[in-house]
Amino acid sequence: MSQLRVVVWGENVHEKENELVAEIYPKGMHTVIAEGLEERGGDGIEVSTATLQEPEHGLTEERLDATDVLIWWGHRAHGQVDDEVVDRIQKRVLQGMGLIVLHSGHYSKIFKRLMGTTCSITWREAGEKERLWVCNPGHPIAAGIDRYFELPNTEMYGEPFAVPAPEEQVFVSWFEGGEVFRSGCCWRRGNGKIFYFRPGHETYPIFYDDNVRRVIHNAVQWARPQGLWIDSCPNIPVEKAPEKIEEKGPKLHKPGDEGYK
Judged by CB, which is closer to Zn ion: 112, or 201? 201
The residue among 171 and 222 lying less far from Zn ion, judged by its C-beta, is 171
Strand-pair category, 45-51 with 4-10 = parallel
- Could you tell me how many residues make up the chain? 261
The gap from C-alpha 129 to its chain's centroid, in whole angstroms, comes to 24
Residue 63 touches Zn ion, criterion: CB under 5 A: no
- Least distance (Å) between residue 103 CB and Zn ion: 6
Phi, psi of 11 (to 5 degrees): -65, -35
Is residue 201 within the footprint of Zn ion (CB under 5 A)?
A: yes
Q: Which is nearer to Zn ion, 68 or 202 (CB)?
A: 202
* Closest approach of Zn ion to the CB of residue 30, in Å: 15
Residue nearest to Zn ion (CB): 201
With a CB cutoff of 8 Å and minimum separation 6, the contacts of 4 are 44, 45, 46, 68, 69, 220, 221, 224
Alpha-helical runs (H) found in the chain:
14-17, 19-24, 29-40, 61-65, 83-95, 109-115, 210-222
Is there binding between residue 130 and Zn ion (CB under 5 A)?
no
The one segment of 4-12, 167-175, 185-193, 201-209 that binds Zn ion by CB under 5 A: 201-209
Query: By rule CB under 5 A, what string of x and - marks binding of each residue 64-103 to Zn ion?
Result: ----------------------------------------
Range in contact with Zn ion (rule: CB under 5 A) among 2-10, 58-66, 177-185, 195-203: 195-203
> In terms of CB distance, is 73 or 222 closer to Zn ion?
73
3-state secondary structure of 77: coil
List the one residue out of 206, 201, 191, 185 whose CA is nearest residue 119: 185
Closest CA to 29 of 156, 258, 216: 216
CB of 156 to Zn ion, least distance (A): 10
Q: At what angle do helices 210-222 and 29-40 cross, to 10 degrees?
A: 80
CB of 155 or CB of 209, closer to Zn ion: 155
Q: Which of 155, 163, 173, 182 binds Zn ion (CB under 5 A)?
A: 155
Among 51, 104, 183, 218, binds Zn ion (CB under 5 A): 104
CA atoms within 13 A on the CB side of 1: 14
**Residues at the interface with Zn ion (CB under 5 A):** 104, 155, 201
